[in-house]
Amino acid sequence: MVTATQTTQIRIRVPAKRMRKVQKLFDEMGTDATGAINMFLAQVERNGRLPFDVVAREMPNATTRAAMREADELAKRPAYASKKDFFAALKSK
């Protein structure tokens, strides 16, 4: 068992609203913030990396931006209520 002399105390700032939410979740999991942070640190120590992927993605991404441009272009085209209206427009050109 780890004794108090074998531990290090850390202090972190966390938004109060977030802390209230996660405390409820930790209670449901049968742990607390200290236990959760120790689990996190154990995973970092074991794997030599964060236990989740950290990525920065552009929102929207390139594929979505291309689809949005296509939709904008399609919206500029005329729309017709029926085939009859479509063919009438073709004949009038």
Whether the predicted model's global pTM rises above the 0.85 cut: no
CB atoms within 10 A of CB 33: 13
- Per-residue pLDDT, 55: 81
Cα separation, 89 vs 81, in Å, equals 11
For 44-91, write each residue's pLDDT tens digit: 999 999 999 888 777 788 899 999 999 999 999 988 899 999 999 888
Hey, where are the domains in the chain? 16-47, 62-92
* SS3 state at 64: helix
pLDDT of residue 5: 79
pLDDT of residue 76: 93
Residue type, 68: M
What pLDDT does residue 58 have?
A: 73
